[in-house]
Structure formats: structure tokens, C-alpha cells
């Protein structure tokens, strides 16, 4: 069975969706066939299988990504991903990764943004990006 996928990266987040990315785990000499994405809203008991991603959906850098949509704004979710091969489902993480969807009031073109990094950073207003 494949190893556990230990690190998920939050790629983007909106009030009603987010995308996570991950690197493939060690397949232990049996090729990985696909990945399953599981989601649990804070307060719910069970994780739901919300998506299936074939290994052919690999990005140019060798990583994988999946977007989860139709979520509630300003809500906490736990997400985890497992790999499958012909021997079955790989090891599940003990805990899912916590993601908080954005408030609707924070997601608009008039938001503040930071451009650059360290001492070369600039602070601006969102409309400046569109111009």
C-alpha cells in the first residue's frame, strides 16, 4: 500500500471553495493508481469522499492538486488525501489538515494586498492590480 500523504499545501481559497496540492507518496514498489480526497466540516463526525483524482492528472512539477467547491463561507473544514494502488488504499493521516474558507466580505477586488517580499514589499489596494 502507498505511504501516507503527510503534507497538503493550500493553493487558493475563496468563500465557497479551496484547492489543495500534494506530492505523491512512496508507492512501495506498486504504482499508485489514483487519489481520494476526503472532507469533514468542523462539528461533523465523518469524513466524506469528495473526489477522485487519477494519477494521469499530474502537474508539470510532479505534484497533484484538487479543488473542493460548494462550501460554506467562513467555515472550518478538515481535508485529507489518500493514495491507492492495486493493493488498496494507502495509510490515512491521523488528522486532516485544517482549512478556513474566507468570509464573503473579505473576498472582493477592493481588498488590501502585499506585493513582493521582505524589504521590497509594497502595500496597495486591489483595484490597482486590475488596472
Question: Which domains occur in the chain, in start order?
Answer: 9-104 (2.60.40.10)
- Residue-wise pLDDT for 31-77, tens only, equals 999 999 999 999 999 999 999 998 888 888 889 999 999 999 999 99
Q: How far apart are CA 38 and CA 82, in angstroms?
A: 8
The pLDDT score that the predictor gives to residue 110 is 53
Residue holding cell 508507492? 27
The model's pTM: 0.77
pLDDT in tens, 115-129: 545 555 454 544 444
Residue 93's alpha-carbon distances to 5, 7, 8, 104, 119, in angstroms, are 7, 10, 11, 31, 38
Give the torsion sign (CA, 17, 38, 29, 6). Answer: positive
Alpha carbon distance 13, 26 (integer Å): 28
Amino acid at each position: 500500500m502507498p505511504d501516507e500523504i503527510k503534507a497538503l499545501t493550500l493553493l487558493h481559497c475563496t468563500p465557497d471553495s479551496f484547492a489543495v496540492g500534494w506530492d505523491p507518496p512512496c508507492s512501495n514498489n506498486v504504482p499508485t493508481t489514483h487519489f481520494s480526497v476526503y472532507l469533514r466540516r468542523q462539528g461533523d463526525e465523518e469524513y466524506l469522499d469528495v473526489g477522485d483524482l487519477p494519477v494521469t492528472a499530474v502537474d508539470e512539477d510532479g505534484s497533484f492538486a484538487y479543488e473542493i467547491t460548494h462550501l460554506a463561507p467562513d467555515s472550518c473544514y478538515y481535508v485529507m488525501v489518500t493514495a491507492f494502488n492495486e493493493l488498496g488504499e494507502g495509510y490515512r493521516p491521523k488528522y486532516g489538515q485544517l482549512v478556513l474558507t474566507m468570509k464573503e466580505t473579505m473576498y472582493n477586488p477592493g481588498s488590501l494586498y502585499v506585493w513582493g517580499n521582505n524589504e521590497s514589499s509594497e502595500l496597495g489596494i486591489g483595484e490597482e492590480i486590475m488596472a
